[in-house]
Amino acid sequence: MADVLSKGTLFPEVLIPDMINLVRGKSALANLTDATPVAFNGNTEFTFTLDKEVDIVAENGAKTKGGATVTPVKIVPIKVEYGARISDEFIYASEEVKLNYLKTFAEGFAKKMARGLDIMAINGYNPRTATASSVIGTNNFSSAITNVVTESAGVNADTNIESAVELVQASDAEVNGLALSQKIRGDLAKLTNTAGEKVYPELAWGAQPKEINGLRTEVNSTVSFGTSKVRAILGDFDNCFKWGYAKEIPLEVIEYGNPDNDNTLGDLKGHNQVYLRAEAYIGWGILDKNAFSVIKAA
pLDDT of residue 74: 76
Mean pLDDT score across all residues of the chain: 87
Of 58 and 187, the one with more pLDDT? 187
Residues 40/79, Cβ–Cβ less than 8 Å: no
Q: How many CA atoms are closer than 13 Å to the CA of 49, on its beta-carbon side?
A: 16
| Nearest CA-CA partner of 269 in 252, 256, 254 | 256
Helix (H, G, I), strand (E, B) or coil at 132: strand
pLDDT of residue 199: 95
What's the pTM value of the predicted model, to 2 decimals?
Answer: 0.86
Residues 282/78, Cβ–Cβ less than 8 Å: yes
For 210-256, the pLDDT digits (tens) are 999 999 999 999 999 999 999 999 999 999 999 988 777 888 888 88
* pLDDT at residue 9 greater than cutoff 80: no
The pLDDT-based confidence of 49 (bands split at 50, 70, 90) is low
Extents of the domains making up the chain: 2-47+70-296
pLDDT of residue 87: 86
Q: How far apart are CA 195 and CA 96, in angstroms?
A: 61
The pLDDT-based confidence of 285 (bands split at 50, 70, 90) is very high
Q: Picking from 80-89, 94-103, 218-227, which range would have the lowest pLDDT averaged per residue?
A: 94-103
pLDDT of residue 5: 42
* pLDDT at residue 55 greater than cutoff 50: yes
2-47+70-296: which CATH architecture?
Answer: 2-Layer Sandwich (3.30)
Beta strands in the chain (DSSP E): 9-10, 43-50, 68-75, 78-87, 125-126, 131-132, 148-150, 177-180, 211-212, 215-219, 230-235, 241-245, 250-254, 273-286, 292-296
